[in-house]
Amino acid sequence: MKILFISSLYAPDIGGGAEIILQRTVEGLQQRGHSVAVLATTDRPGLQLAEVNRVKVYRAGLLNRYWHFMAQRP
């Protein structure tokens, strides 16, 4: 089955527990033979394709209200 997850953040940009659960879910489904991809936001303009643990991650330069706070995290 082909599955696309849409999330504000995805690894390595981790904001909290939801992103960790999403990453584990995505990787678990992929290990079971599903074709899984993620669409997440980025602070860079345009659309970039990355691969995180063999998962295709599309990052779109969309307005994300959390990016301002991510820069303040230690």
Question: pLDDT tens across 8-58, in order?
Answer: 888 888 778 899 999 999 999 999 999 999 999 887 888 999 999 999 999
* Interatomic CA distance for residues 74 and 71, integer angstroms: 8
Give the pTM.
0.77
* Pairwise CA distance, residues 42 & 32, whole Å: 28
pLDDT band (50, 70, 90) for residue 73 = low
pLDDT tens digits along 55-68: 999 999 876 566 55
